[in-house]
């Protein structure tokens, strides 16, 4: 189990994640345990849930998805996913590819963001 030494380490991690979340799909969702850990006020206790999220985050960031550029006149599809604290949008193209019986979706672009409490209350 990897243990973060203090609250400042988690604050640094979450600020880096916030900057990356505009470019990596569902990154905010993967980091919710860190944000919740910071919301607990003065108490800071690194638990198994945070440790698991940390390991999954490291594994995810070392194997990023591959994006592709759409071809001319190719139809683009927008997919929007929301949960209580995270909104993600993905732009994909569908194409028929050899060795596939169904259409294959390929990632073109994605954006994701964590909603702060005030955005949740007023949206």
Q: Is 41 left (phi over 0), alpha (psi -120 to 50) or beta?
A: left
Average of per-residue pLDDT across 15-32: 72
3-state secondary structure of 91: strand
**From CA 96, how far away is CA 104, in angstroms rounded?**
6
Task: Write the pLDDT tens digit of every residue in 30-44.
Answer: 888 887 877 766 677
Q: What is the mean pLDDT of the chain?
A: 78
Task: Write the pLDDT tens digit of every residue in 28-78.
Answer: 778 888 878 777 666 777 778 888 888 888 888 787 677 888 888 888 999
**pLDDT-based confidence at residue 1 (cuts at 50, 70, 90):** very low
* Nearest C-alpha neighbor of 113 from the set 18, 38, 15, 36: 18
**pLDDT-based confidence at residue 105 (cuts at 50, 70, 90):** confident
Whether the CB-CB separation of 114 and 103 falls below 8 Å is answered with: no
């Amino acid at each position: 189990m990897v243990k973060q030494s203090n609250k400042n380490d988690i604050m640094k991690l979450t600020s880096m994640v916030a900057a990356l979340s505009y470019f990596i799909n569902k990154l905010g969702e993967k980091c919710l345990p860190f944000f919740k850990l910071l919301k607990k006020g003065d108490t800071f206790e690194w638990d198994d849930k945070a440790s698991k999220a940390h390991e999954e985050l490291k594994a995810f960031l070392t194997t990023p998805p591959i994006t592709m550029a759409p071809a001319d006149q190719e139809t683009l599809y927008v997919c929007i996913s929301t949960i209580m604290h995270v909104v993600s949008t993905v732009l994909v193209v569908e194409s028929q590819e050899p060795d596939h019986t169904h259409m294959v979706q390929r990632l073109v672009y994605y954006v994701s963001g964590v909603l702060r409490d005030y955005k949740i209350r007023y949206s």
